[in-house]
Amino acid sequence: MPSFADVLRGVREAWTQRRSDIEQTAQELLEHVRAGAVSRRATVDAIHTKATSQLMRRFDRTYGGFGTTPKFPQAPLLQYLLSLAVLGSNDARAMLTQTLVAMAAGGMYDHVGGGFARYSTDQRWHVPHFEKMLYDNAQLVRIYVGAYRLTSDERLRFVAEDTIAWLQREMHPSFAPAAYSSAQDADSEGVEGKFYVWTAEQLRAALESDADAALRLYGVSEAGNWEHGLNVLERRDPESVRGLLGLSENAFAQWERSVRDRLYDVRSQRIWPITDDKVLADWNGIALRALAEAGRLLDRADLIECARQTALFLLNTMGRDGRLHHAWRAGTLRVESYLADHAQVGLGMLELHAATGELRWLQSAHQLADQMIDRFFDSDEGFYDSEPSPLPMRARELFDGAVPSGTAAACELLLRLAGIYDRSEWVDIAQQAIERQIGLLAQAPEAAPALLHAHLINQHGAHLAIPANPNADQLSVAARNQFAPLVTFVTGPPDSLPLLAARTTSELYLCQHGRCQLPAQSIEQLRQQLSVLHEGSGVALGKSLLPGDSS
């Protein structure tokens, strides 16, 4: 066996006598490695390209949304499209914006009180099933806020803030003002929709001289646009009504606000639908995330404070015995605890940290993730939705419904936290859970869009390290206001977290897969880095053939 000295002599001899051969071999090896990396990346991104193609086949090019009737918002799918649009997919952007605009114009949106009904009974979003769910509206707040930041369409911002106003006004249980009720019923006096619909005569009595313009704005007729002379309010052609009134955009907005306020006052005299005021941890976690993100991206400190209060309620009231309990009402805490509770509340805490820079919320998210793995993860089978029990089977649902599956939410939480705390084993857990379903993701993207979104985060996500106290300087505050749904924001004193180790204050560090770019010293530099990050995603763009693409 040659000695180490013999090996060194052989290396020196080869370098001096056959250097060109070695350099050629090294170049060939480097090209092989690069080709392998490019091939793997192309394969990974092909999943999302194929998923987008599948979604386009199902997309309603006339009215937006997916499928025919009944037509649901499918919020997890819209969230996935939003992230694809940020990465540059023109088709995702077109499908997203057309759907959001159409939903907000139709009767599924409450044009008097704000908020969305559960689904539309028809293809064009006109007549809803009038029940309003917390989970739908909280998710749609996030999507409308994000779409506003993507497009600068002020109507999208209005709908987001109007929906938040409904949540704040009507969805707090009397016994828990920091939490949110589960749902408002569709029925009033035993009749579905009675609380929400109008006759032309009722509108005329409420609005007097403004009635004719309002009837035209909301598509109201004497015969009714629904049944039995009743009208479901829509908002299809506001510009023609504004022209008829001869008002500027601001003046028209004030006029419409006055009309809505008067209609709301009249409607409030009716018998209200029953509110299901139980508090569910996972749905409140989704609401917490929506409030924190809206507060951060819309510069609304009041919403961030509301999110703080909701976070404290969830931790102090529903967190017991080393786990988060699922349901609470009027002092009674149910014993059940589920994967989605820990995952969704953890994601809410993570977003509250992004909005405030306060470490306590990040630490809570980390603790919830630990509990989640301890109680719901099996190293051989992956995540289960429920804890172990004497029963021979444990619940597990991998498909999304109106909300993301527990597995998808858990994967997103772990992927976002792993880079902050240097927990590579959490990346492995999430990757394995995603890879178990990789065949499904491209073939049936509507079945598991939240898991597709977690896959996007795994491949194209990044972390923004902001080494500063929460309000130490304008740069850190401005950095947290950036819209980047695949980026996780981390703020704290240098060396307070593994991701912040040896960082310098007044600099921003955009990191991906353990590698960080040169520190940005201004928001302009950060925006350029984010742009390059998105442009280099590899997600296929293409010329969109869908209506509504303004890119």
Among the ranges given (30-39, 63-72, 306-315, 533-542), the one the predictor scored with the smallest mean pLDDT: 30-39
Q: Where among 220, 238, 267 does a domain terminate?
A: 267
The rounded distance, in Å, linking the Cα atoms of 520 and 478 is 13
User: Is 286 part of any domain?
Assistant: no
The rounded distance, in Å, linking the Cα atoms of 486 and 84 is 10
In the numeric block, the tokens 């302009």 are attached to 524
The rounded distance, in Å, linking the Cα atoms of 91 and 365 is 34
Work out whether the CA dihedral 91, 92, 97, 99 comes out positive or negative. Answer: positive
Q: Where among 267, 286, 311 does a domain terminate?
A: 267
User: Is 74 part of any domain?
Assistant: no
pLDDT of residue 507: 94
Q: State the pairing for strand pair 462-467/487-492.
A: parallel
Q: What mean pLDDT do residues 290-305 have?
A: 98
The rounded distance, in Å, linking the Cα atoms of 379 and 338 is 18
In the chain, the amino acid numbered 27 is: Q
Helix (H) / strand (E) element for 465: namely: strand 462-467
In the numeric block, the tokens 């924001």 are attached to 489
Mean pLDDT of the chain: 90
Q: In 3-state terms, what secondary structure has residue 538? A: coil
Helix (H) / strand (E) element for 329: namely: strand 327-329
User: Is 511 part of any domain?
Assistant: yes
pLDDT of residue 212: 96
Work out whether the CA dihedral 142, 144, 145, 146 comes out positive or negative. Answer: positive
pLDDT of residue 539: 63
pLDDT digits (tens, 9 = 90+) for 76-127: 999 999 999 999 999 999 999 999 999 999 999 999 999 999 999 999 999 9
CA dist 466 → 221, 416, 520 (Å): 56, 15, 10
Q: What mean pLDDT do residues 284-299 have?
A: 98
Angle at 12 between CA 9 and CA 16, to 5 degrees: 140
The rounded distance, in Å, linking the Cα atoms of 284 and 299 is 22
User: Is 514 part of any domain?
Assistant: yes
pLDDT digits (tens, 9 = 90+) for 446-490: 999 999 999 999 999 999 999 987 666 889 999 999 999 999 999
Q: State the pairing for strand pair 191-192/275-276.
A: unpaired
pLDDT at 551 over 50: no
The tokens for 249 are: 């955009």
pLDDT at 44 over 80: no
pLDDT digits (tens, 9 = 90+) for 213-266: 999 999 999 999 998 999 999 998 999 999 999 999 999 999 999 999 999 999
Closest CA to 348 of 418, 296, 393: 296
**Number of domains the chain contains:** 2
Q: Do 493 and 513 meet the contact criterion of CB atoms below 8 Å apart?
A: no
The tokens for 452 are: 């597709």
pLDDT of residue 468: 87
494 lies in which domain range? 462-551
The tokens for 416 are: 């976002």
pLDDT at 406 over 70: yes
The 3-class secondary structure across 298-318, one letter per residue, is: CCCHHHHHHHHHHHHHHHHHC
Q: Where among 243, 267, 291 does a domain terminate?
A: 267
The tokens for 479 are: 């950095």
Q: What mean pLDDT do residues 514-520 have?
A: 93
pLDDT of residue 82: 98
Closest CA to 91 of 53, 117, 125: 53
With a CB cutoff of 8 Å and minimum separation 6, the contacts of 165 are 114
User: Is 32 part of any domain?
Assistant: no
The 3-class secondary structure across 210-266, one letter per residue, is: HHHHHHHHCCCCCCCCCCCCCECCCCCCHHHHHHHHCCCHHHHHHHHHHHHHHHHHH
The rounded distance, in Å, linking the Cα atoms of 109 and 113 is 9
Q: Count the Cβ atoms, other than its own, within 10 Å of residue 250.
A: 8
User: Is 175 part of any domain?
Assistant: no
Of residues 66 and 39, more confidence is placed in 66
Q: What mean pLDDT do residues 429-446 have?
A: 89
pLDDT digits (tens, 9 = 90+) for 377-401: 999 899 999 998 877 778 888 899 9
What's the pLDDT band for 492 if we cut at 50, 70, 90? very high
Of residues 296 and 549, more confidence is placed in 296
User: Is 188 part of any domain?
Assistant: no
The rounded distance, in Å, linking the Cα atoms of 511 and 516 is 4
User: Is 2 part of any domain?
Assistant: no
Closest CA to 317 of 177, 184, 414: 177
pLDDT of residue 17: 56
